[in-house]
A and B are shown apart, each in its own frame.
Chain A
Amino acid sequence: MSTPLLQVRNLHTSFSIDSGEVRAVNGVSFNLERGKVLGIVGESGSGKSVTAYSILRILVDPGKITEGEVLFEGEDIVKYPPKKMRQFRGNKVSIIFQDPMTSLNPTYTIGNQLTEAILLHTDRNRREARARAKEMLTLVGVNEPAKRLKQYPHELSGGMRQRVMIAMALACEPDILIADEPTTALDVTIQAQILELMQDLQRKLGMAIIMITHDLGVIADMCDEIIVMYAGCVCERGTADEIFYNPRHEYTKGLMRSIPTIGKKSEKLIPIAGSPVDLLNLPKGCPFAARCDRAMKVCLTERPEEIPINDFHRAACWMNVWQVYEEASKGGDVE
């Protein structure tokens, strides 16, 4: 196991608008190995989608990657020329979006949109491409695939459209599938089906997945590693067990506290106080400090680095440094 499949190193992305610069991603780093599933969790505005778009370089115009590298199999794709980038997209790395209704072109048939990607990246001719499209539809569990190919997006249900999106994304057998909030726009029962489908496909096809969501329940089951993001920064990273049972960042703790659990009857839901940070005026220090009820003076002035908790767990929170210090001063030596 040599270089990881994908390495994102110190990624910074901002949008320059009239009133200034909106700093959506501020120094995000992570690795993704072949066949593994990475989950990115965070609220709206945390920069998770922008990170994904930066990787694929499909940012909308005022958005630009201002710093950092994205290494795919060792090569920095930020430096790819447009033609090479187009060969990369939909082929090596694919993405499925949140709202399948608006993500499919309403004026073309499903078949047309499915075969487009296949024709673009493989050597098949039109007939073979259609056959492959039918194959993919069957693989994702769409019934009557031949009929569906001739239909328009608005004729399909929400769950089916998302399956089509998945089929479209996987048609060229990508190494990585990025799923940007794939179930947020769907009913709860359909959500479960789609997630199951994705897990199934991952087992069958062996691609790596980056799962982006704000729903903690969704990623608990699927992910090998989880990253928690806030205000474009990585707050905490670790395995699902670590994050859920031993959260070490005040933001993550807040998230955990706000999930209702079945069984506990008279539990009060504790929301996180305050409002999300203004990305136009990113404050110094830890971006979460203003909302954190355990904030310390250092939190307001200096941005914490990621403090290792154990081999599988890091948190960018000064509390961990303080705790270590407290423990040390209570007695005994430190390593």
Chain B
Amino acid sequence: MSTTIEEAPKGAKASQKYFGRAMKRVEDPRLIKGIATYVDDLKLAGMLHAEFVRSPHANAKINSIKTDGAKKLPGVVAIFTGADVNDKLGTIPCATPLPGGKSPDHKVLAGARAYFVGHPVAIVVAETRAIARDALDLVEVDYDPLPAVIDPEKALEKNSPLTHPELGTNIAFTWSISGGDVESAFKEADRVLKIRLIHPRLTPMAIEPRGCVASWHAGESSLTLWTSTQIPHLVRTLLPGLIGIPENKLRVVAPEVGGGFGSKLNLYAEEVVISHLAIRLNRPIKWIEGRRENAAATIHGRDQIGDHEIAIKKDGTVLATRCKAIVDVGSYCQLLTPAIPTLTGIMLCGCYKLKAVQMEVTGVHTNKMSTDAYRGAGRPEAAYIIERVMDLVASELGLDPVQVRLKNMPEPTEFPFQTATGLQYDSGNYQAAFNKARELADWPNLLKERDTARKAGRLFGIGLSTYVEICALGPSKTMAAGGWEWGCVRIEISGKVTVITGTTPHGQGQETSFAQIAADRLGVPIEDIVVLRGDTATAHFGRDTYGSRATALGGTAIVMSIDKIIEKTKTLAAALLKSTPEKIEFEDGKFFVSGEANNELGWGQLASEAYVAKNLPPGFEPGLEASSFFEPPNCTFPFGTHIVAVEVDRDTGQVKILKYIAVDDCGKQVNPLLVEGQVQGGIAQSIGAALMEKTVYDENGQLLTGEFMDYAIPRAADIPDYVLGSTETPSPSNPLGVKGVGEAGTIGATPAIANAVIDALSPLGIRHLDLPFTPERVWRAIQENGGGS
């Protein structure tokens, strides 16, 4: 079912649409050839290099920091501790604080205490990176290690040590949602099921770690910050206040970014202190994160524990769920930390008609790195919860998991669908995706295969997940810094087209897909279009890339801009064709007087006239450029069905994925090849989360999964052949009808794999097992249930 790649035909006629075509990415050649420019490729004259002294303790009092020896090392320029910089800088922001939340001031460097392993304690600036690294070993920090707060449940006990004693509590925030009449739904229930579901802490592990270069232009009193980020615009919004320069004196550039997955959706202490010191030392400074630093000091994801109660009817109707959840937020609330569990809460209905939902969240401070958005960000938790629940309901009632799901789904006619949590699902046809996935999986034969395998004593399981997620975040009223998106289109004097997006693609391929959208709308060959992104000096506004928002919102802003240009150009064409704007038609890149198609003007001629400006009609502003802000009326709600068949090795606990079928509906697809890539990558990360990934701190708060030798991520050989399909239910939330697909795989896949593994183990009487299904965990469950060979 893999997508067939269609090359753009050379000299294609404009009428051959690009939208919907599986085209190779224009980004790929530079990436494959190794000639792309990442932060670490930047070399500026006089550039210094920084390295951070980081706490080796999870919780420690810092008695003293001696830097004399390190400063003597030839090539060391300066060393700064918290005492040298903290009072000159603002604190690291959390954009989504919750009412009543208690969080400490998040200073850029540790002060009197270090709160997690990897906490930056001091910064060394030197002529080379090697010298900076050598100097780290010469900085003497006198620590008094203190008992670490590690287990978030124990952290809530009365006698627990406190992560931040000055707060008097380990509770960072509480949040709750209650939709529908929860109490009466539970009264109406025939049975109430209970289950604890755990979402392990995960390390995003972008292949390119973080890094930045800051350069102060003393003559202009302005700063340029190149940083490996998903959000240059949000950094430009947040950073000026922290370092005390005006916003219009700051340019932020995200050059090529080698993976983000939410881990670069933050303003980090390192970016702030490097910016500050570039000004203070009046020299450019580069900092590149090492892998172990990345594992320890870049945000982690997930880490939720939920105790769930599910009200059900005997016929399989799921009436309501309620849960108490604990979220381990780590030592500080980073940019979006408190928002993540709220996304879980609002998505708990999944694609089902629950009458009521309640969730009470307690965010807990521990001596670990902060948790924040990791691909899916709250929605994988919700999908996992409701999809495990559907299987539990089926197994408790002896019903078919297919029928339980179908019974609880809204019909296509019920859209827009109002959920108990207050969302309006924009459009959907869950049954269509569900049925198509079962067709692709050859469902009846798959069941027979399972029967045959089980009769032979094999542990063979089939798992389903029918997910829905929330994308295109999101109307501004729900977003701290606005949820609009900006785009700009310029027809250059030569007729070539420059498209500028306020989103910040970092692997998603929008240099290609936005060019496809623009080429169709303008009626020009795609080769004539360049898409610029990621530089606040060229993309004047933007809310960047996260929450699978870029195509739905950024793409629409581009379309709006093109429509403005076309309208304007009609006036010019009318003057040149001696007609009136109302009579001008635009088709395939040509302007002509209605009924006189043989007398037409193209973009080349019109752009030349617009800029040379000798024959402009009265009042016509020179130039052909327009920009637009798109404010979406609603989010989008992509959905789909994933089906997995697995076999478990009874002797070793090893899980093998035998079949993987996914049908995703992300609305209209601009480029099916990019959609497939996103789905494939997302499923791969889900395979990691389901089978191998877990961030482990020991009881002293030491990080035991600090590098790829100990933190497993899936490799090519772990990925099964995917059978991929799609359905297409356009979104009414934007004129393109697109929904977003960047996170679908990480949301839909984990529960499908989990359900398959637990189905495989079900003949042994196993009802549930927590993620990840590592061999030892599975083997132990088999042993405990008498299933060993």
The finding on whether chains A and B are genuine partners in a shared complex, rather than unrelated, reads no
Report B's interface with A, CB cutoff 8 A: none
Report A's interface with B, CB cutoff 8 A: none
